[in-house]
Amino acid sequence: MLCVCLLSCAASAACRVVNSMPVLSITAGIYTMVVVSIERVRCVLPARGHDVPTPDTRSIGVRGTIIAIATIWASSAVIAVPMAVNFDVGLAHDTDSSNQSQVVCHPTWNNLQTSGYSLFVLVVSYLLPQAVIYVNYGRLAAYLWRRHRAVAASSAQPQSVVSGSQTTRPAGGSSSRSKPVARSTLKTIKMLATVAILFLAAWAPYFTIITIEVIRTFYL
C-alpha cells in the first residue's frame, strides 16, 4: 500500500513539474533578456546630470547579478505555479482494447480558467517584457545615433594647427577618423535591431497559439 501511495505521489509530482517547466523556462529566458537590456542601458547611457557614461559605477556588479538571477527564477516560478496546480493524474474516461482504465496526466481547469491563465502568461511573459526590451534598445539606438551625429559634426569643422608662423589645416584627417566610429555605431544599431527582431520571432509561435486559445474562448 505504501508503494502504491509513493508511486501515485511521484506520478502526480512528475505530471505537475513536466507541464509547468515550459512556462518556467520561457519566462526565465525572457526576463533574463530584459535584465540584459537594462544592464546595457545603465552601462552605455550616461546617468542623469552627467554627459559621459560611467559603466564602472553603473554596472550592477556580481552582487546585483546574483540578486537579479534569484529574482528572475523566483518570479518565473511564481508565474508557473498555476500551471502546476492545473495538472494532475487521473483515470481516463475511455478504456483501451483490453478493457483496462488508463492513468493519464490531464488538466483540471475548465476552458475559461485555462484561457484566463494563458492571457495572464501572454501579458506578463511576452508583451510587457517585449515592450521593456524595445524601449531600452530604442533608447540605446537613439543615443548612439545622436552621438554619431555629434562626432560627425565636430569632425566636419576645420581645425587649425599653428606651427611657428604658419597655420595649417589638416585635410581629411578628422573625417577618416570618424569613419570607424560611424561603422561601429551602425553595427551596434543593427545588432540591437537584430536582438529585438529575433526576440519577437523566437517566441512568436508559442504565444500565437496562446492568443488563438484566448480568442476562441472569449470571442467564438
Q: Transcribe 8-59 into DSSP letters.
A: HHHHHHHHHHHHHHHHHHHHHHHHHHHHHHHHHHHHHSPPTT-SS--HHHHS
Q: What CATH number labels 2-154+174-219?
A: 1.20.1070.10
CA distance 23 to 16: 12
The CA distance from 147 to 153, in Å, is 10
Mean pLDDT, residues 18-25 taken together? 92
* Grid coordinates given for 23: 512556462
Say which residue, 177 or 134, is predicted with more confidence: 134
Q: What's the chain's average pLDDT?
A: 79
The DSSP call for residue 2 is H
- In this prediction, residue 98 carries a pLDDT of 60
pLDDT digits (tens, 9 = 90+) for 189-204: 778 778 778 877 888 8
Q: Report the Cα 50 to chain-centroid distance in Å.
A: 28
115, 213 contact by CB (below 8 A): yes
Q: Which residue has the cell 475559461?
A: 112
Question: Are 18 and 83 contacting, i.e. CB atoms less than 8 angstroms apart?
Answer: no
Q: What is the pLDDT of residues 142-178, one digit of tens each?
A: 888 887 777 777 766 655 444 554 545 554 544 455 4
In angstroms, how far is the first alpha carbon of the chain from the final one?
47
* Residue of 135, 137, 107, 145 whose CA lies nearest to 15: 107
